[in-house]
Structure formats: structure tokens, C-alpha cells
Structure 1
Amino acid sequence: MDSETRLETRSSAPPAERKKEGFRETTRFLLLLFVFALVLRSFIVAPFSIPSGSMLPTMMIGDYLFVAKWPYGYSRFSLPFGLGSFDGRILADAPERGDIAVFRYPGGGDDDYVKRVIGLPGDTVQMKDGALWLNGTEVPRVRVADWLMPITPNSPCRTVDPEAARVVEDEDGNRFCAYERYRETLPGGESYYILDQIDGIADDTPLHVVPEGHYFMMGDNRDDSLDSRFSLAAEGVGYLPHDYLIGEAMIVFFSTDGAAEWLKPWTWISAARWDRIGETF
């Protein structure tokens, strides 16, 4: 049978049968698309949004980033919709000191957090007068220029001590919140910026010894982060179990200053922080 005959035979099928076949094809396509998205999100990359300022200045409220799922292996928290029911990790690998990791909050619930890996199993971690000490040695930090955060609807000039807020303006009248900034360098060479707002309760801590199979996590906004310096009872992270790791922060794929309105699509463009898109960690 030649191609013209096959085409004629197919087109002569009853309309109801053609409609049924089209429905089956659409259903098959949508099912394959769902499976592809599920595999992609479970094992390769997943989106994550930044809802708080605990990782300023590295991450800003309104950042949307992709999280790589493969670097640390897979646990029950790697699978979406609560599909995982197994213990331990598959293809497990350990994070490196300095990684920015997304993890399931170990105090219960479905909240995902993002912090920096500071202490590895067996490390000792302590804060003294606002300085980080690892394994008995002070981690070098250098005072650099203040970080000027643009004041926007989702990023007000929020400080731990409201009286310490410093608002500055540039020559065009744009308003910024000024934060005291340092560059901290971990053993191994990982270097990044941190904020130090006040002399707070987390600037001096007991000596922490990180248990086997756990990690010590900290936010870069040191005075505004409930992290491993605080116990679960104090609504902190405590020592993070390895199984609770989800993935490693990879790249910002979108960022918004919070000024967009859903019913005004043109504001989606004006509210975008274009200079942050493509930012890697």
C-alpha cells in the first residue's frame, strides 16, 4: 500500500474513532512529560526560592535557583510529593566545607532550608566575639566595604537591631540598606562574604563537636540566621543529619525585587533583577 492509500485509509476513519485516538495520544504525551519532569526534579535539578535574608549577601529574597540533586546522592527527601519512604542515602557522597546546601529542616514538617556547610563530621566549631573558629583555629576574615542592598518591596532595610539600620542614597535618589561586610576564608580556600550586624547572642557559643554523619550549617547573614548554632528546641537547625541533605545550590535562574503584580505582566520585566540571573555559587 502506497503512502497516498494509507493517508486516505486513515482519514476515512469515523470521527469518533479519530477523536478517541487523538485523546490517547495526548494522554500518552502528558504522561511521558510528567514522568520526565518527575525524574528531572528527583534526580537532576529542582527549583528553590529564597524566602528570607539568612543568606545575605550571597542570596537575596526573591532569588530563584536551581539545586543540583546528584552531588550528595539521594535520600527520601530527594523525592517530591513525599514519595520516598526509605532510610539512608543512595549513591551517597559527602558535601565539602563551604558548599551551599539545601536540606529538609530536621525539626519536622516539609520546610526546606538553605545554609552553608561550615563543620564536617568530627570538626569542632565555635564562635568567639563574632569570629568563627574551626578545630581550634580562627578562620580569617577581613573587613571590606559595606554591602549596599537596594531597598525594594521584598527587601526592606531589616536589621536585627532596628536602631542600627543605616539607609543611604546614591546621586540618583536610589535607597540602599548598608550592612557591615567581611570576607571569610575557610580552610581549603573557599572564600565568601558574610554580614555582621550586631554583637548578638550567637557571636559567642559553646564548643560544638560535630557528630559522625552530621554537619554544622550556618547562614552568611550571621546575626539573622537560625542555624546550627541553635538547637532544634530553640527553632534552630542543630547538627544536620546527612540524610536530610537535598542538593547543592547551583545557579540563579530568576530574581525579582517583589514589585511585580500578577495581573500586570509588564511589571514582571521591570521587577526582575537581571544582574543576578546566572549567578553561581
Structure 2
Amino acid sequence: MPAKRRPRRPADDSLAANLRFFAILMIAAILLRSLVAAPFSIPSESMLPRLLVGDYLFVAKWPYGWSRHSFPFSLAPIDGRIGGAVPARGDVIVFKTPGDNRTDYIKRLIGLPGDQVQIRGGRLILNGEPVPKLRVADFLDPVSPNSPCRPVPGLRIRLARAADGGAVCRYPRYRETLPGGRSYDVLDIGTTPADDTPVFVVPEDHYFLMGDNRDRSADSRFPAEPGGGIGYVPAENLVGRAMVTFFSTDGSAGWLMPWTWPGATRWNRIGEGF
């Protein structure tokens, strides 16, 4: 006599349905983060004045196509890049630093393959031509836990007072304009060894990237090493293009004290595009 099948309990069906739902949700989240857009936070001052410590931004994955570094832990078995367009000079890009192919950095693209890049007297020289650099109003950064003012003898950084009486850090600011007319602001806070470099010739399938805070940025002017410079960045290391700032905090709030969150939020930075 055949054994009777034990009827499935409603609880079993419910558990299986919930597991399927969460599995689908997890897969969808991984694909969204890998193929469309992902959040990143800013941990350093290397991209002042455009990006502050405590900024959170979405990075678009599709503009440059996809590589193994587009996926969590770089686990995708992809050789080179799939789809996408060539980055443009002036793009703000998140990439895996060649020093360890693991750490995310964010810098501005300055040199394309074949370009000749040099810094001479703090001035960017691109393919033998000085890039226009115009002095504009100082950048005033309100002093906060995420933006402490660190004046150093010999550098042009000043602790000052804003019109409302609050403490601000004052930096000399300049406007650079790349060939093609794309403009952005940079900081030049003094004379450093990186203000004068040899001529860099960008290899094929590589890029030359720099921080906007020129004297406090470990970038393509320095050899690639973990936690330091980045050298030339391979095309496959590009993760995505900065798209929009969706949140920013000055670091003065306590995570377990929700009533302090509104006062720490930099509301005027939310929604800023690139």
C-alpha cells in the first residue's frame, strides 16, 4: 500500500515564499548596484572644494560600461570592459586604485590615452599648452568635525570668521578650464614638490587623474602604491562616474541621537550634480 503524502503546512509555504522573495530582492539589489548606480562616501579632502568629507553620492555605472570592478569584490569573470563610452576630460570618476585593485578612490580625469600631462609651477600643462587658471573668490569651508581647519606654516590656509560669526577655513581657489570648455574649481594652497613634475605620457587604455585639492591629493603624479599615489589608472579599473550628491553631514551628529541629525546635515549640498 503506497504511503500517504504528508500535506504541506501553510507555515512551510509561507517560509518558502519569504525565502524566495528575499533571494530575488538580494539579487535585484546586487544587479542594481553593479549595473546601474551605487552609493559612495567621501573620506578625504583630496577633492575639495567640490567634495567634502561626509558627502554621499551616487555613482552611475553605465556611462563607461562594465568591468569586473563594477561588481562586489570584483568577482565577475570579465576581461577588460563591456559596452559604454570613453570618459571625457573633467569627469569625476570612482575607480579601484591600481595600488591594490581593491580600494575605491575618486578623482577628476585630466589626461586621456596619448595625452602629455605636466605640472609646472603649480600650473597644469596639457599637450604642451597651459590650461587657463583664473583666481576666483576664496573657498570658505565651515569648520566642523568632518572639516577641521589645519593651517600649516608655509601653506595658504587661514582660520577665519564668516559673516554669521561661525569659524571657517579659507582656501585660495582657482577656476581651471580644459580644452573643450569644461570648467571646475581647484585649490592651490602653497608650493609643494608635486607643483613641478616631469612630462607624463598617458599609455594606451590608461588615464591620468588628479584631485581638485592639488596640494593634498595622492593621484597620478605619484607612483601607484597601496594607500598612496595611483599612477596611470587602467581603463578596467574605472567603476563609474559621479552623478549626484544625495546626502552630506558635517560629522557633528551622534548616530544614536536622532535629534542631532538635522543640525548636522548640509542641506545645501543635497542634489548637487556633476
Same fold (TM over 0.5): yes
Q: Which position in structure 2 is the counterpart of 1:106?
A: 98
Q: 1:161 to 1:70 in 2, by over 3 A?
A: farther
- Measure the CA separation in 1 of the matches of 2:8 and 2:260: 45
Query: Greater CA radius of gyration, 1 or 2?
Result: 1
- Measure the CA separation in 1 of the matches of 2:26 and 2:79: 26
Are residue 169 (structure 1) and residue 164 (structure 2) matched? no
TM alignment of 1:30-69, pairs within 5 A: 30-69=22-61
- Measure the CA separation in 2 of the matches of 1:160 and 1:117: 28
Question: Cα offset for 1:133?
Answer: 0.5
Q: Which position in structure 2 is the counterpart of 1:257?
A: 250
Question: Which region of structure 1 is more displaced relative to structure 2, 226-235 or 263-272?
Answer: 226-235
Question: Cα offset for 1:110?
Answer: 2.0
Q: Deviations for 1:224-249, whole angstroms, at most 9, x for unmatched residues?
A: 00000111259311011101000000
Q: Which position in structure 1 is the counterpart of 2:187?
A: 195
Q: Calculate the TM-score normalised by the size of structure 2.
A: 0.93
Task: Structure 1: state its 5+ residue gaps.
Answer: 1-13
Q: Is the 8 A contact 2:156 2:171 kept in 1?
A: no
Q: Which position in structure 1 is the counterpart of 2:263?
A: 270
Q: Which position in structure 2 is the counterpart of 1:217?
A: 209
The alignment partner of 1:91 has SS state of: coil
The alignment partner of 2:246 has SS state of: strand
Task: Structure 2: state its 5+ residue gaps.
Answer: 1-5
The aligned amino acid for 1:210 is: V
The aligned amino acid for 2:200 is: H
Q: Deviations for 1:181-216, whole angstroms, at most 9, x for unmatched residues?
A: 000000011100000001111111001111111110
Question: Which region of structure 1 is more displaced relative to structure 2, 86-95 or 31-40?
Answer: 86-95
Question: Cα offset for 1:269?
Answer: 1.7
Q: Deviations for 1:38-83, whole angstroms, at most 9, x for unmatched residues?
A: 1100000000000000000010100000000001111110001332
> In the comparison of the two structures, how many residue pairs are matched?
268
- Give the alignment partner of residue 130 of structure 2, picking from 135, 138, 149: 138
- Measure the CA separation in 2 of the matches of 1:116 and 1:108: 20
Q: Which position in structure 2 is the counterpart of 1:180?
A: 172
**RMSD of equivalent CA atoms:** 1.8
Q: Is the 8 A contact 1:160 1:224 kept in 2?
A: no
Question: Which region of structure 1 is more displaced relative to structure 2, 170-179 or 184-193?
Answer: 170-179
